[in-house]
Amino acid sequence: MNPDVTVTVIVHNDAARLPRAVASVRRQTHRNLEIVISDDHSTDETPSVARELAAQDPRIRSIRLPENSGGCSAPRNRALEIARAPYLMFLDSDDELPANAVELLLAAHREREVDFTMGAVRRIRVDSGHRSTWMPHLVSARRTLKGIAADPRLLFEHLSTSKMYARAFLDRHDLRFPEGIHYEDQLFSAQAYCLARAFTIIPDPVYLWYIAPYETGDTASISNQRHKLSNVGDRVHVQRLIDDFLAESGHASLREDKDYKFLKHDFRMYAGDLPHRDEEWLRSFAGIVTPYLDTLTPAAYARLPRPERVVLQLVRDGRLPEAQLAARGLGHGVAPRRVTTDGADGGTYWGDRIPASAEARRELDVTDLELDTRPFPSAQFRHEITEITRGPGASLDLAIRSYDPGLRLPPGPHRASILLATGRRRLTLPFRLAPVRPGVFEGRARLDLSVAPVPLHGFAGTRHPLLRIEHQGLAHTGLLLAPLNFPSLTARIDYHSGAAPHRVTVEPEDRGPGRLQIRWCPVGVTARVIRPVVRRVARPRVRRVVRLVASALR
């Protein structure tokens, strides 16, 4: 009997995780399927592992490419050539399928004639175990669409692995994965969306995507290799291929939606990294992306939040150091250091100059941020640490500069404090911000980590101190940005409160806005014995007993 579904598992030098991926397919509730392991010419133990797996289950076949292709497309295409089932799915060796994924997607195919079915993707953080749903708003309800024009937002869900394709659909359009390029899923999925006469979405999870955000080297995912300029070029190249396809296939009307997706998703990923790139990288990056950004529809830019539009325009204008400053505030409501008002048109513009071109004036006009009129608790300020020095004991002396471009704070000193939470309690360190010039205040604070309220049973985690300003009975709390080049400081702290000793590291956050970052790690008997027990105990009363024991042992 021929299988109903072929699930292709692609792999390259991943002998350790391949058995887990294949096991997730073998335990599917729908049993009549075949599994094709497609090895992209691995040089580790993967070939022998694949052979052993095939020997365990007659549903498994294994193929090995004669040479490494360097991507996902070729191993998928080679497996597709030998697949025997009328429906096809794809799985990466570092991921898994939920046990009922095949059953659910196949049932949706059999319910009505569609070209592919798709479901939710569950993202799992390898480092923390945290689970979330990829693009949940797009897969929240069961529905069948007659073409992508019915919901162009689906261009954001560009994963090929969340879908089950009818083989007849792929063959009818000779639809295969583009070989020799990265980000092949984006082109393949765009083509599938546009060519499909109908497809069904189900809200059930059908794919488990393991995310390793700190993985580096050859094992890192393509998305985690954004530091490579070749990665930037690959992503832009695929966008141009998608643009060509949309024009040639009669789907030019989707161009604005596709451009918005690129700006909101693809470029945004690089924008968050800009503060951490050096000058040479920035110039090369701008040289790659700017010619493409200039081809995108103005309407797509207009759909973005103002802070993202500012970063994009600064990159296009070659104002790269300023783009880095602007990028440190993305998603966090961090104000610019300075704005400039044009007395002629009343516009308020990002930075210390009035933009020269009409386009730049449109994109850098930050009037809609309401810097001077927002309610004080939601106002926008910018707090930067300008100097960090080691103080006595386990303390740090911080020189802080706060920018108030909307001139919300009157002249004169202001009460401020640094907030640091460890466990359930919070440390509040008051200091004063004194005026330097209109819209700029400075102050110094001593952050003594030895008085942080660490729980008796210890605290393992990372925290980012916040800065609070008080004015007329109201308080505003915002990020505290660190210098990005100061060396990390590590010390052992024996707390006078009786809490467990800890190794504490102070460093700049190496991604995103670059906040001041403090990491605690318990040491000694608490780290080896007590904390593992506390983590396993669920009942609050027993937790309290364990904490008392931990305190007695010290």
468-494: average pLDDT: 94
Tokens of 402: 């706060």
Cβ neighbours of 435 (radius 10 Å)? 16
Per-residue pLDDT at 547 = 52
The more confidently predicted of residues 278 and 220 is 278
pLDDT value at 553 more than 70: no
Phi, psi for 126 (deg, rounded to 5): -65, -35
Per-residue pLDDT at 544 = 57
Count the residues in the chain.
554
pLDDT value at 552 more than 70: no
Cβ neighbours of 181 (radius 10 Å)? 17
Residue 548: pLDDT band by 50, 70, 90 thresholds?
low
pLDDT tens-digit map of 427-444:
999 999 999 999 999 999
pLDDT tens-digit map of 507-519:
999 989 999 999 9
290-295: average pLDDT: 98
Sheet containing 440-448: order of strands: 382-390, 395-403, 440-448, 425-437, 414-422, 466-471, 474-479
- Residue 11 and residue 18: Cα distance in Å, rounded? 7
Cα within 13 Å of Cα(194), Cβ side: 25
Per-residue pLDDT at 538 = 42
pLDDT value at 99 more than 70: yes
- Print burial letters for 389-422: b (CB count within 10 Å at least 16), e (below 16): eeeeebbbebebbbbbbbebbeeeebebbbebbb
Token match 């195919």: residue?
109
Token match 């071109």: residue?
357
Per-residue pLDDT at 540 = 52
Per-residue pLDDT at 546 = 46
Residue 526: pLDDT band by 50, 70, 90 thresholds?
low
pLDDT tens-digit map of 191-242:
999 999 999 999 999 999 999 865 555 454 555 677 889 999 999 999 999 9
Per-residue pLDDT at 215 = 57
Task: Read off the pTM.
Answer: 0.89
Per-residue pLDDT at 497 = 73
Contact 104/163 with Cβ under 8 angstroms? no
pLDDT value at 54 more than 90: yes
471-499: average pLDDT: 91
> What is the H or E stretch that residue 22 is in?
helix 18-26
Cβ neighbours of 179 (radius 10 Å)? 15
Per-residue pLDDT at 256 = 98
Whole-number average pLDDT of the chain: 92
Tokens of 88: 């096809």
Give me the percent of the chain exceeding a pLDDT of 90: 84
Residue 456: pLDDT band by 50, 70, 90 thresholds?
confident
Per-residue pLDDT at 222 = 52
- Residue 120 and residue 101: Cα distance in Å, rounded? 10
Residue 151: pLDDT band by 50, 70, 90 thresholds?
very high
The more confidently predicted of residues 3 and 539 is 3
| Domains of the chain: residue spans and CATH | 5-221 (3.90.550.10), 226-369 (no CATH), 377-547 (2.60.40)
Q: Please enumerate, as own/partner, the contacts of 222-230 that have beta carbons within 8 Å and a separation of 24 or more.
A: 222/182, 222/183, 223/269, 226/269, 226/270, 226/273, 227/273, 227/277, 227/281, 229/281, 229/284, 229/285, 229/288
Per-residue pLDDT at 127 = 85
